[in-house]
Amino acid sequence: MRTYHILYIQLLLICSLLTACFKDKGSYEYIDYNEVTISSITGKTTISLGEALDLKPQLKWKSPSKDTLNFNFEWVFENKVVSNKRNIDYTPTQVGGHWYYLFVKDNNDNIVYRKEIYLTINSAYNAGWVILSEKNNNSSLSYIRREKYKDEDKKDKLRWVPFVDIYQQLHPDAPLGNTPSKIVTKIFPTDEGDELLIIQGNKQSVFLSGSDFSKISYLADEFKGGQIPDNQDIKDYHFYKTTAHVVLSDGSIYWKRYQSNSNAIHTGTFFSSPLRTDDIIKTHQFVEAKSYETRMLPLFDYKQNRLVHINMSNSVNFDNGRFMTNAYRTTLPSDFIKLDEMAEVEYLYGAEYARGESFMNLLRHKSSNEYIIQEYNIFGGTGSLNISEIKQYKLSNPGIITETSIYYRMRKSSYMFISNGSKVYFYDFNTTTFKLYYDFGSPIVDIKSGGDESEFAVACTDGTFYICSPKDPILALPIPGSEGIMSKIENLGRVVSIAFKYGNDTAHYVDQYN
């Protein structure tokens, strides 16, 4: 009997233990957590510095009828909480690509859910127009950014936001300089960013950061001993991958080479002797050409009355910076003026267009005063050029071209813009006709196209800057500028030069307006 009672008691204890184990196990497996799923985060993933983030997490609860309010939200960037709101309330302060993390905590049970999103923060001054002018005897830099927005009818629209005297606003304690003459963009020390060069007198030519326009270094420091030969001024500059070329005030050209694809474009020094072939080359400025595609840099040598081409290459080799010889691969027109025999004409303008193989020259015959256009293709290797598909014809000039005319050939169209005082005309290469675009009321200083060539800019001596449409429906109007002017910016000072800033070399390569 005693044995029976003992067994019975042991059985009860075992059952009690099993029941306790079951209840304890149930406390973990059978609580109905209101789980959260962060299915996505919507909003712009690429913004400009200074623009607030607008990100909205899409949340789904396992049991929407239960408590969905007792949750905490933390947006984390670089291990710091930058916002505690469900929809982030934060304006980034760093340029570049970054991961942002959202943590959602259920305060009822302390379970945390996470979602990440990769954002690209571009400089507020990433891509747009830059204007170099003179104000109160000092250099001034202004910037214009294009922005997209939706009107009241939810239609996509464009606007241009001016940042007049932006350099002075950002860097009031570091004056830019004086005697400005030219602004040069398309300088890409890395794939991620760009620089621009402000060309000024008295060895003041200075490189600026493309992100915030802060000073990086002076061009004079890239010459041996920090001395530009004969204390001359810089007149023009060209950068491409592994080489840099400058034109000095006496027309001579100096160049330097640095390590390919490095961040050290400001290291090393320019060679102590100017470029030459059989004699020293003299030029006023480089011909506008997209070196990514042309693999050459054209210029007119006014000392020997010829058009020559400097070899460009992605690699570091001793052929870089050397002049290439011309070889004609077609029968020349009987009256064709050879590119290396131009003594009888005045070289007015040259441009590269299309896909990097097509070139044009605008010439004036010295004896007859006739205007001549040449068009041709160039292709070839590192040592010689093959010139083909040559055309040459006289250009009728109904009193439009003058000694002060400014020219600009669009790369992707058949139009060339020409100034005459305060008026801008365009020449159609297909119809060989001129047409007035608009009278801007003040003498024209500069004409350039921007980004994807969906717009071009006109700068006037009175400090006014116009952004205009070159699209065919606008050009077909009796006076295209009457409706084609999309933006007008004033009070820029005495404008001396304008340029389009791409922001990075990828955008430049594909002609993209970021």
The domain segmentation of the chain, as residue ranges, is: 36-122, 128-509
In total, the chain counts a number of residues equal to 514
Let me know: does 140 contact 168? Beta carbons within 8 Å: yes
* The pLDDT of residue 367: 94
User: What is the rounded CA–CA span in Å between residue 502 and residue 278?
Assistant: 38
> Parallel, antiparallel, or unpaired for β 423-428 and 444-450?
unpaired
* The pLDDT of residue 264: 77
Q: Which two tokens stand for residue 375?
A: 């068009």
* The pLDDT of residue 107: 85
* The pLDDT of residue 323: 66
* Closest residue by Cα to residue 82 from 60, 112, 55: 55
Low-confidence ranges of the chain (pLDDT < 50): 1-9, 11-28, 316-320
* The pLDDT of residue 408: 97
pLDDT tens sequence across 280-291: 889 999 998 888
Let me know: does 180 contact 198? Beta carbons within 8 Å: yes
* The pLDDT of residue 260: 57
> Residue 43: left (phi > 0), alpha (psi -120 to 50), or beta?
left
* The pLDDT of residue 13: 47
* The pLDDT of residue 511: 86
User: What is the rounded CA–CA span in Å between residue 293 and residue 406?
Assistant: 25
User: What is the rounded CA–CA span in Å between residue 171 and residue 178?
Assistant: 15
Q: What contacts 24+ positions apart, CB below 8 Å, involve 68-75?
A: 68/34, 70/106, 70/107, 70/108, 71/36, 71/104, 71/105, 71/106, 71/107, 72/104, 72/105, 72/107, 73/102, 73/103, 73/104, 73/105, 74/102, 74/103, 74/105, 75/100, 75/101, 75/102, 75/103
* pTM beyond 0.95: no
Q: Which two tokens stand for residue 311?
A: 């070899």
* Closest residue by Cα to residue 392 from 354, 346, 339: 339
* Mean pLDDT value across the chain: 87
* The pLDDT of residue 314: 58
403, exposed or middle or buried, with CB in 10 Å at 0-12, 13-18, 19+?
exposed
Assign domain 128-509 one CATH number from 3.40.50.720, 2.130.10.10, 3.10.20.30, 1.10.340.30.
2.130.10.10
* Closest residue by Cα to residue 352 from 304, 312, 294: 294
* The pLDDT of residue 277: 74
CATH class of 36-122: mainly beta
229, exposed or middle or buried, with CB in 10 Å at 0-12, 13-18, 19+?
middle
